[in-house]
Structure 1
């Protein structure tokens, strides 16, 4: 039989089951360590060992059979009351669990040796508790009676030979064996059969069914495919939201149509007293009929459009939510090994600790969960080593000898809050001060003036430790600084709080997902940027008079201290803004000495944005971390605030940080000339906008002729650049309306068209256009030369 490409071999299924059963055994043993007579934990461990033994026997992993059999005997003895699994016994069984998680075949000599030592140790313990005259079983293939009734009559069972199955079975042979076993299972009980084969079939069927059931719940998907799915669902959501403004624009069309109908009715009433030619009267009646019919059809289509808008938006939101949920995993998935680590570290330190995990089912982005394992390990080791006292010390202080260590995960205020807390001694601030001075991080006088919060910040410095000597647990200074680095990488925050003698709490505030980011939208040089809210300390509207010049740099008073002020134009190297009103918009970013107020043109509000990774071929773009799409489909770049701060430091170090005048950077004496770009193509709009903005022009965009017509009537522009072929209102109509308006007719208009058609050129120039340029032939300088010919330089 030919193996199907995607069908796993039985050895692969066994490895998967070994990992699954190892988790069950690990959890059960930790429960037994706290309560040795826990019947439910004993039953779970016995069944896990028994299932593992049967699966190992079928695939021929002899070391797995021997180890699982020895462990199973221990659990059965405990169930029957013949043994008590004390901590030392649990230690030995946990060592066996570690081996179970990595065994896969008999070829590994180290696995054979490890299993042999573990089995010998477990059998030695069993020999000490067996009743007189009983022997430890050496069988590796019990008869069918043991398989069907795994608990009863174990101690006196005679050994039986193991089935001869290859250690690394051929996939086809393995699946043939499974098929034969399943057929044997289907044989009526009175028919002759091979009991050993039937027992084996029972085990492997149970194993395969367990894994099949699990694979029915879980599916392995490539991370990049999942990210692509989320990206596409985000784009679908953005596109669906485009329908609402379009429907609203159609309502304006409906109102215009209604007004035209009323005007026609008035005309009909005016002409009613006149004796019109019968043909004219018939034509007028026909126009009224057609107008009424079109109004009715328009109303029906608008109702359909609104209904489609609701369904489309709802479906797109559901699609996006489902795709996002695929990235989420229970918090417990990333913390499975922490309970074991806490137990082992506590025992190595001679401390008694009760471990609590709260919020195991809290949903966490898989990327964040993958990053959390090491930081959480550091935090828990710190709590065990530095926080929780030895049992004798705790008793002397009136505490229970067993300390409590709690890991809590929950959603709060749109963020993931993870807290590690202990009821230990807290942080010795005097020892912390002494360590800071000893490491020459600050003088004694400075340290004496530092607040508690400022002192605790030193714990996050690389290489900082309160231990003078390096131990197996701590002393190398790679604890909280590693936590701080990971938290900063995912745009989170970390805080420490403590109460002397009562305990310490370390709290991580992280985004729920790295796929969606809550951002503050700002405008710089006519272009929107998104600044992650996690990096924004405050938004301010500051009077120009509040910005002072100190030591050649601009500063403002903020939270009782002075912080530097720069402009986003300097950071992003864009054209400087013109002097505006009496106040400026400012965001405060950074922390400590690297806190700055960044002046922006204006705030555009808060948005939830779907993060779109930039093409890796672009490499790292300075000051930018990713992109996104806004609700109207326009692109927006997401700021890399860490890069922003580094850019400021480079400007300061190089002496390039320009002085500010009245709170904003020096600008040209006159405001930049304003250009309106009207084009329904996002690519063309962005090309023309960026090209003009980099030359200092103040550029506004419109998505079609109607949008452009509304813009020129509401704001002042020095030039309009328009396409011809656009929905709602084409470029020729727009030019005609502008040139017919007494207040706008002097406004220069340039037509830029993909199609170099002579009829379009004539129609545009006849409508009053001042310049015609074909998109197919123009290049950057051609457009800029034409703009300069019409209105001059941006600040001329």
Structure 2
């Protein structure tokens, strides 16, 4: 007999149960490590071990029964006051917890071997415990016998039904799937009910009811106490669609305003008609003309009344639509958010283990456990937080004897704090240790030849601390199991930069160190500064904009072959966005220029733009991954009016500036205007039914100075080439109404157009597709699968040359 196709297997259910109970046991044991007689923690651990034993017995995993039973004996003895779970005992139980999550894996033979050693160690400790009747020496009893055990609240639980003899007799026996499945499903439902109910146990409901390992592929939504597992890509799609819905709803307001102008025009026409009526009143008009004039006045008045009513309805609909779209978007965005505590479940255990290995006593504090964090950011934070905490334990908090000698309590405090502030997520790791030895830091900087001794003495404290973020930098001379390889804070800095965040390190000598991460609340929405370059809007993430400036051209100085400007007491280089994006320079130049300051340290630059368009909250729309990495661009978005805008990759901008500086290609902005107006501009027609591809190709070509016109399909493109002059046509193949092959065929058959170069850019990259396009008359065939900006631009230059001919 086989299970139903969509029903999980028994062993899969047990593995899920084992992972759930392992989290409960882990949290409970950490609480007992701080307070060994914590009744609530003991009760939670005993229940978890008991549930695990029952589930293991049902599916015939005998090693799981033995391990859970040995752990249960320890918790019962502690509950009855016959044993005290000291740190060494907690270590053994935690080792058992590590095995619990692996015992259902048939391939993990090491877990089976480890069970015997762990059970023997726990039984050896129990041998020194005063027995309480014969119950403490029994061999794994049937589940029904649990009803007679003197354990608080356990007797009230409905005992699981006795398994078939074949199940209890051997771990290799095969229980009846249907019966066992039903028993296990009932046990899991009962356990879930217990975990959802309010309980004094230290285990968090979120940690015990969701699978942390599934965060990369699914998210868990709660509604009226029910937990639903949803695919992450479905949530991303929902957020994208809700963002587009919000953008579309905002289109109604400008439309309603344009209708108000129509209303004013109609009102003026009514007044003109009234004046005409008054002028003609003294004349004796033909009765039919008089009747017609009166009818026109009546219809005009009626239409004005109807328009006013419809405008009121439109304004009401606009308010409701915008409100509902905003609610939909907020709800979709909330589905991406998870409590900060969901991503910190293993940190308390890691802090305890590292502290014990270093011989230090540490009190762990987690603040802001319920702070909502974007799912993607939370997934990225696991490794950086681990590095920061290990760094604090090894470098910051002193050994107990040292702390006592300095007048501190022998137990140090390590705090992880997460909160929302000023529209950002602020995560802080702080300790009350010794702080950072600045003299040792200076010596390490000089020893690693990162700066001269003279330079180091002039650096401020903040500048010195920034060296801790460099790759490979460590204050440890010897490599240990905890640190010394210089990958800790460097890895933190790398992840934070990837999500457009910042890292700040502060310390007080002898009092402690604080590492603070400022991160965006979500990666789905970005607060941006809109700028215009060569007539095109671009969005620059505000997290990367240090300052916006309006400066006079007289303030820009020429020094050592480069332009500079005074900024915050130092001089920074100046470059135009036209040079970075390789677009045509501006046609006219005013006395004042608009500038954004980006970068940090010596890589700080002022980038001149045509003008500022204001700030916007944009819903990030990732570019099609088949297009590859587009230089200087990271993603796209839609503005309120539905127009697309590209989001700048500021790190790419900085690299582009460095390449320009290294190659000596920086132009003086006042000399940037050549006689472009006197030269003819090459015209390109882009034909593609994909908005993303169409806009990307248009912007790439426009940035290089080409005059670009777009067509949405083959028929639209055919009408365009017959009505205007173009130097090149770039077309897709699969399009509605007329495909690219038909378009190429028509162009090459037309006597007036047959000399017009045509390039096909298509996802079809098979040899037969390429041959069909070239046979139809195409001059170039470029596959989108290998598409990137330089390939397209190189092909265009090969066909028609540079933008200005």
Which TM-score applies when normalising by structure 1? 0.81
Q: Do 2:206 and 2:342's aligned partners in 1 also have CA atoms closer than 8 Å? A: no
1: CA distance, partners of 2:800 / 2:196:
102
- Alpha-carbon deviation of 1:267? 1.5
What whole-Å deviation, never above 9, does each CA across 1:386-444 have from its counterpart, x for those lacking one?
00011111111111111100000000011000000000000000000111111111111
What whole-Å deviation, never above 9, does each CA across 1:433-492 have from its counterpart, x for those lacking one?
111111111111111111111111110111111001011111111110000000001100
2: CA distance, partners of 1:381 / 1:45:
27
2: CA distance, partners of 1:769 / 1:207:
51
- Alpha-carbon deviation of 1:101? 1.8
Relative distance call for 1:712 and 1:319 in structure 2 (3 A) is farther
What whole-Å deviation, never above 9, does each CA across 1:648-671 have from its counterpart, x for those lacking one?
111111222223327989976999
Q: Secondary structure, in 3 states, of the residue corresponding to 1:542?
A: strand
1: CA distance, partners of 2:648 / 2:308:
44
Relative distance call for 1:248 and 1:174 in structure 2 (3 A) is same
What whole-Å deviation, never above 9, does each CA across 1:680-719 have from its counterpart, x for those lacking one?
9989996997599457589999999999999999999999
2: CA distance, partners of 1:138 / 1:782:
76
Relative distance call for 1:42 and 1:476 in structure 2 (3 A) is same
- Alpha-carbon deviation of 1:113? 1.5
Relative distance call for 1:472 and 1:682 in structure 2 (3 A) is closer
Is residue 6 from structure 1 mapped to residue 6 from structure 2 by the alignment?
yes
Q: Do 1:431 and 1:466's aligned partners in 2 also have CA atoms closer than 8 Å? A: yes
- Alpha-carbon deviation of 1:160? 10
Relative distance call for 1:731 and 1:300 in structure 2 (3 A) is farther
Q: Do 1:55 and 1:204's aligned partners in 2 also have CA atoms closer than 8 Å? A: no
- Alpha-carbon deviation of 1:58? 1.3
Q: Do 1:61 and 1:167's aligned partners in 2 also have CA atoms closer than 8 Å? A: no
Relative distance call for 1:511 and 1:601 in structure 2 (3 A) is same
What whole-Å deviation, never above 9, does each CA across 1:548-575 have from its counterpart, x for those lacking one?
1111111111111111111111111100
1: CA distance, partners of 2:500 / 2:200:
63
2: CA distance, partners of 1:107 / 1:755:
43
2: CA distance, partners of 1:749 / 1:156:
81
Task: Point out the structure with max Rg over C-alpha.
Answer: 1
Q: Secondary structure, in 3 states, of the residue corresponding to 1:530?
A: strand
Relative distance call for 1:736 and 1:347 in structure 2 (3 A) is closer
What whole-Å deviation, never above 9, does each CA across 1:300-348 have from its counterpart, x for those lacking one?
2112211211121111111111111111111001000000000011111
- Alpha-carbon deviation of 1:580? 2.1
What whole-Å deviation, never above 9, does each CA across 1:499-534 have from its counterpart, x for those lacking one?
000000000000001111111100000000001111
Residue 179 of structure 2 is matched in structure 1 by 173
- Alpha-carbon deviation of 1:5? 3.3
Residue 553 of structure 1 is matched in structure 2 by 562
Moved more, 553-562 or 109-118: 109-118
Relative distance call for 1:249 and 1:698 in structure 2 (3 A) is farther
- Alpha-carbon deviation of 1:94? 0.6
- Alpha-carbon deviation of 1:225? 2.2
- What residue ranges of structure 2 are gaps of 5+ in the alignment? none
Relative distance call for 1:573 and 1:148 in structure 2 (3 A) is farther
Q: Do 1:416 and 1:511's aligned partners in 2 also have CA atoms closer than 8 Å? A: yes
1: CA distance, partners of 2:196 / 2:342:
46
Moved more, 189-198 or 173-182: 189-198
Moved more, 256-265 or 681-690: 681-690
1: CA distance, partners of 2:771 / 2:138:
100
Relative distance call for 1:289 and 1:469 in structure 2 (3 A) is same
Moved more, 197-206 or 131-140: 197-206
2: CA distance, partners of 1:523 / 1:192:
56
- Alpha-carbon deviation of 1:178? 5.9
- Alpha-carbon deviation of 1:55? 1.4
Q: Do 1:677 and 1:721's aligned partners in 2 also have CA atoms closer than 8 Å? A: yes
2: CA distance, partners of 1:699 / 1:29:
67
Aligned CA RMSD, in angstroms, stands at 10.0
- Alpha-carbon deviation of 1:270? 1.8
Q: Do 2:337 and 2:374's aligned partners in 1 also have CA atoms closer than 8 Å? A: yes
Q: Do 1:520 and 1:604's aligned partners in 2 also have CA atoms closer than 8 Å? A: yes
Q: Secondary structure, in 3 states, of the residue corresponding to 1:21?
A: helix
Q: Do 1:59 and 1:166's aligned partners in 2 also have CA atoms closer than 8 Å? A: no
Q: Secondary structure, in 3 states, of the residue corresponding to 1:129?
A: coil
What whole-Å deviation, never above 9, does each CA across 1:596-646 have from its counterpart, x for those lacking one?
111000000110100000001100000000000000000000001111111
Relative distance call for 1:372 and 1:598 in structure 2 (3 A) is same
2: CA distance, partners of 1:507 / 1:563:
27
Relative distance call for 1:304 and 1:779 in structure 2 (3 A) is farther
2: CA distance, partners of 1:415 / 1:33:
35
Alignment of 1:264-413 (within 5 A): 264-413=273-422
Moved more, 256-265 or 596-605: 256-265
- Alpha-carbon deviation of 1:193? 32
Q: Secondary structure, in 3 states, of the residue corresponding to 2:795?
A: helix
Relative distance call for 1:195 and 1:181 in structure 2 (3 A) is farther
Relative distance call for 1:222 and 1:789 in structure 2 (3 A) is closer
1: CA distance, partners of 2:400 / 2:543:
41
Relative distance call for 1:581 and 1:707 in structure 2 (3 A) is farther
Relative distance call for 1:789 and 1:37 in structure 2 (3 A) is closer
- Alpha-carbon deviation of 1:297? 1.4
- Alpha-carbon deviation of 1:173? 5.2
Relative distance call for 1:238 and 1:278 in structure 2 (3 A) is same
Q: Do 2:474 and 2:484's aligned partners in 1 also have CA atoms closer than 8 Å? A: yes
Which TM-score applies when normalising by structure 2? 0.80
2: CA distance, partners of 1:507 / 1:188:
38
Q: Secondary structure, in 3 states, of the residue corresponding to 1:19?
A: helix
Q: Do 2:14 and 2:59's aligned partners in 1 also have CA atoms closer than 8 Å? A: yes
Q: Do 1:634 and 1:682's aligned partners in 2 also have CA atoms closer than 8 Å? A: no
Q: Do 1:678 and 1:721's aligned partners in 2 also have CA atoms closer than 8 Å? A: yes
Q: Do 1:723 and 1:731's aligned partners in 2 also have CA atoms closer than 8 Å? A: yes
- Alpha-carbon deviation of 1:261? 1.3
Relative distance call for 1:795 and 1:116 in structure 2 (3 A) is closer
Residue among 436, 450, 474 paired with 2:483: 474
Q: Secondary structure, in 3 states, of the residue corresponding to 2:730?
A: strand
Relative distance call for 1:754 and 1:45 in structure 2 (3 A) is closer
Relative distance call for 1:710 and 1:82 in structure 2 (3 A) is same
- Alpha-carbon deviation of 1:7? 2.4
2: CA distance, partners of 1:789 / 1:361:
58
Relative distance call for 1:294 and 1:734 in structure 2 (3 A) is farther
Q: Secondary structure, in 3 states, of the residue corresponding to 1:159?
A: coil
